[in-house]
Structure 1
Amino acid sequence: MPDQALELSFEPASDAAVVAQWEALKAAGVPSQADHRSMTNAPHLTLVAAVGIGADVLPVAREAIAPLLPARLGVRGLVLFGQGARVTIAHLIEPEPALAAATARIRELVPSVRHPVWTPHVTLARRVPRRLLPAALDVLDSTEAPADLVCDRLHWWDPAQNLIETIAIG
């Protein structure tokens, strides 16, 4: 069963800044999120992903996150995930302390989180062959990286039902 997720999405200027980097990678022949054709593909920050997020978690998430929106997220550089022949490239994100605390509270309510340690990030490219890392880093170095991103909506994503529900708007 695919993961459900609680995600923060971005106001238009922040969204556009991330998409511009996706497109620059794609134009350079590097795999990027721009290659992901799903209608649900958009820049976001995942707060929690799990096989199931109980219905009891959604009201708590709304109550904890909604008052914090819109929230500014500091972009603190690039991070690579993966140990094999392919890696994920992402912006490492530093959320405001109140948002980090609210996220920790929500994550405690979900017993089967996909990643027990939360590493806030915004994905730029997945499945990048290691041989293309120098090209990817050159592209990202030559594009304007945002200093921060502003998130303004909290979504619940249930892929089994093909459902994205906005549960809070800032």
Structure 2
Amino acid sequence: MHSLELLLDPTSDEAVRDEWSVLSAAGLPSQGDHAGTSNAPHVTLVARPGLDPAADPRLLPLSAALPLPAELGGLLLFGAPPRGLVLVRPVVVTGELLDLHARVHESLGGAGDVPHTTPGRWTPHVTLASRLTPDQVARAVDALADADAPSTRPVLLSQLRRWDPSTGTVVPLGPAPEGAGVSDVAGR
């Protein structure tokens, strides 16, 4: 699936990666097991079979809302056995975050979104681990508790990016680093 994602600021990113490492050290599945350079803690705004790069100039100004303060909540599970469970930290929803999400969808138009990313059904979260068994979930919760992982955590949602799995590329959509032009941010 193609997606638009919000990345975390470096401090928040490191804190989530620390939780990934705790899970890996406990011999459990972890998002940290994915070695791809595009793998980073993120919040998915939109996921659909395709995203037209021609929409990038319309999306770029929306990044002016960033950085956006947020809070990661306690552990939450998605899915059901036997396919596997997904361990996440939900993002506490704010009016500002919902507004950004709605404006992104309005800017894109079209249809075909994965249901849990559509306005009114969106469940913002940061994934810690996928394809867990119920036993592994219990072990993951224990490992994170033993590591004194906080139950909630303030974070900053700092950048917007587009993931294109067909080309394996990440396109930054802002906000622009100081001194960079629009074409630098959009990767053109």
TM-score by length of 2: 0.82
Deviation at residue 56 of structure 1 after TM alignment: 4.8
Q: Which secondary structure does the structure 2 equivalent of 1:94 belong to? A: coil
- Partners of 2:49 and 2:65 lie apart in 1 by 26
Matches within 5 A, 1:6-85: 6-64=4-62, 66-85=63-82
Give deviations 1:19-43, integer Å, cap 9, x for gaps.
0000001101111111112221111
- Partners of 2:110 and 2:132 lie apart in 1 by 30
The one-letter code of the counterpart of 2:22 is A
Give deviations 1:9-28, integer Å, cap 9, x for gaps.
11111000000000001101
Q: Which has the larger radius of gyration?
A: 2
RMSD between superposed Cα atoms in Å: 1.7
Q: Name whichever structure is richer in strand by fraction.
A: 1
Unaligned regions of 5+ residues in structure 1, if any? Answer: none
Which fold has the larger relative contact order, with Cα–Cα distance below 8 Å and residues 6 or more apart in sequence? 1
- Partners of 1:104 and 1:158 lie apart in 2 by 21
The one-letter code of the counterpart of 2:142 is D
Contact persistence 2:70–2:91 (CA under 8 A): yes
Q: Which runs of 4+ in 1 moved over 3 A?
A: none
Aligned mate of 1:128, from 132, 145, 151: 132
1:161 aligns with 2:158: no
Contact persistence 1:157–1:164 (CA under 8 A): yes
Aligned residues: 167
- Equivalent pairs: percent with the same residue? 33
Q: Which residue of 1 aligns with 2:87?
A: 89
Which deviates further from its counterpart, 16-25 or 92-101? 92-101
